[in-house]
C-alpha cells in the first residue's frame, strides 16, 4: 500500500523547476474565491480547445460513437461543455490538494452515505466503482472527508508529481494501491476496507474482453472488477461526484449496494458493469472524460477508430 511519500531533496533539482512553477501557480489560483475560480476554469477550458485539437477530435469521435442519435448541434454542445469541465478539472485538482477541510465543506452535499455504511456491515469490504468524471480528484478528497478509504491508481511518471498527488490524496484517505498490485487490493477488501476502482477506461487488450458500451458494440473492458469481486467477496456500489449545473458546488452521490452481479460469467459481468458505468455517466455526460481514447483497442481485423 502506498503511504504518504516523504519529501526528497532531489525534487529541488532544476529538472523539476517548471513543475514547481506550475504547482505554485495552481496553489495561487485556488486561493481565489470559488465563483472567480469557476469563471477562470470555464474560460480556460474553452480556450484550451485551440491548443488541444487532438483531444478535441477524440472527444468529438467518442461522443459521436456513443450517442449517434443526437443531432450535430447536440454533439457540438456536448464537446463544448466537456472542455468547460476540462478547464474546471485543473481548479478542482488544486482544490483537492490545497484546500482545507473547512473550506471544502462549504461547497458540497452528500447523498447516500448510509448506503456505504450498510454495504460495510459485518466488516465486509466494499469495491467502490468509480468513473472518470473531470472532478474525480476532488471527489476522492471529499469522499475521504466523509469516510476515508483506499484507491487503486496508476503512479505518476514524474517523481515530484507523484509526491504531490499522493500527499494531496492522503490528506483525507487511508492509502493508495498501485493498480498492478492485485494481492494488495484483495487483501484490503478482505480486511473490510472500501477500495475505489475505476473500470471505465481502455487499459489495453491484456486482462480485458469486449463488451458493448453505449452504442459501441465492442469496447475493451477490464476484467479487474470480475477478478476482485470473485477473490474478495466484497460488496459493490458506485460513488460519483457531480458539479452542479449552476456552479454552486458539488454533489457526492453514493448509490445503494449493487445487486445481481453475474459472479459466474466473466463475459456477462463485463456487459453488466458497462451498463452500470453508462448510468453513472448519464448523471452528467458533459463532465465525463471524453478526451480519453476509450476505444483505442479494437477486435482483430477492425480498423482503428482514431486517426
Asked if the structure places residue 129 within a domain, the reply is yes
Angstrom distance (rounded) from CA 139 to CA 267 = 30
Asked if the structure places residue 283 within a domain, the reply is yes
Asked if the structure places residue 218 within a domain, the reply is yes
Task: Kindly state the average pLDDT of the residues 176-186.
Answer: 91
Q: Is the pLDDT of residue 120 over 80?
A: yes
Of the pLDDT bands very low, low, confident and very high (cuts 50, 70, 90), residue 6 is confident
Share above pLDDT 70 across residues of the chain, in percent, rounded to a whole number: 98
Asked if the structure places residue 184 within a domain, the reply is yes
Angstrom distance (rounded) from CA 243 to CA 139 = 10
Of the pLDDT bands very low, low, confident and very high (cuts 50, 70, 90), residue 272 is very high
Number of domains in the chain: 1
Task: Kindly state the average pLDDT of the residues 17-46.
Answer: 96
Q: The whole model's pTM is what?
A: 0.94
Asked if the structure places residue 75 within a domain, the reply is yes
Mean pLDDT of the chain: 94
- What is the span of the domain harbouring residue 79? 16-287
Of the pLDDT bands very low, low, confident and very high (cuts 50, 70, 90), residue 1 is low
Report pLDDT digits (tens) over 216-243: 999 999 999 999 999 999 999 999 999 9
What pLDDT is recorded for position 122? 86
Residue matched to cell numbers 459493490 = 236
Asked if the structure places residue 300 within a domain, the reply is no
Asked if the structure places residue 2 within a domain, the reply is no
Asked if the structure places residue 299 within a domain, the reply is no
What pLDDT is recorded for position 68? 97
Q: Is the pLDDT of residue 4 over 90?
A: no
Amino acid at each position: 500500500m502506498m503511504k504518504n511519500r516523504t519529501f526528497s531533496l532531489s525534487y529541488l533539482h532544476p529538472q523539476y523547476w517548471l513543475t514547481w512553477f506550475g504547482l505554485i501557480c495552481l496553489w495561487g489560483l485556488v486561493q481565489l474565491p470559488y465563483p472567480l475560480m469557476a469563471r477562470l476554469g470555464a474560460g480556460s477550458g474553452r480556450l484550451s480547445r485551440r491548443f488541444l485539437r487532438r483531444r478535441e477530435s477524440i472527444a468529438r469521435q467518442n461522443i459521436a460513437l456513443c450517442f449517434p442519435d443526437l443531432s450535430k448541434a447536440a454533439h457540438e454542445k456536448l464537446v463544448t461543455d466537456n472542455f468547460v469541465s476540462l478547464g474546471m478539472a485543473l481548479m478542482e485538482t488544486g482544490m483537492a490538494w490545497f484546500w482545507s477541510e473547512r473550506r471544502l465543506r462549504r461547497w458540497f452535499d452528500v447523498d447516500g452515505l448510509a448506503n456505504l455504511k450498510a454495504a460495510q456491515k459485518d466488516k465486509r469490504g466494499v469495491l467502490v466503482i468509480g468513473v472518470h468524471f473531470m472532478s474525480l480528484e476532488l471527489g476522492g478528497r471529499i469522499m475521504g472527508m466523509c469516510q476515508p478509504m483506499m484507491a487503486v491508481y496508476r503512479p505518476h511518471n514524474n517523481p515530484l508529481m507523484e509526491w504531490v498527488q499522493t500527499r494531496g490524496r492522503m490528506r483525507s484517505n487511508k492509502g493508495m494501491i498501485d493498480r498492478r498490485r492485485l494481492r494488495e487490493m484483495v487483501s484490503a477488501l478482505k480486511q473490510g476496507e472500501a477500495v475505489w476502482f475505476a473500470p471505465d477506461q481502455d487499459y489495453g487488450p491484456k486482462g480485458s474482453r469486449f463488451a458493448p458500451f453505449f452504442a459501441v458494440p465492442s469496447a475493451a473492458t477490464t476484467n479487474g472488477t470480475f477478478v476482485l469481486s470473485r477473490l474478495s467477496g466484497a460488496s459493490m456500489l458506485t460513488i460519483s461526484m457531480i458539479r452542479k449545473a449552476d456552479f454552486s458546488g458539488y454533489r457526492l452521490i453514493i448509490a445503494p449496494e449493487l445487486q445481481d452481479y453475474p459472479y459466474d460469467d466473466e463475459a456477462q459481468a463485463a456487459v453488466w458493469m458497462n451498463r452500470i458505468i453508462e448510468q453513472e455517466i448519464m448523471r452528467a455526460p458533459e463532465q465525463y472524460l471524453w478526451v480519453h481514447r476509450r476505444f483505442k483497442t479494437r477486435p482483430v481485423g477492425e480498423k482503428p477508430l482514431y486517426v
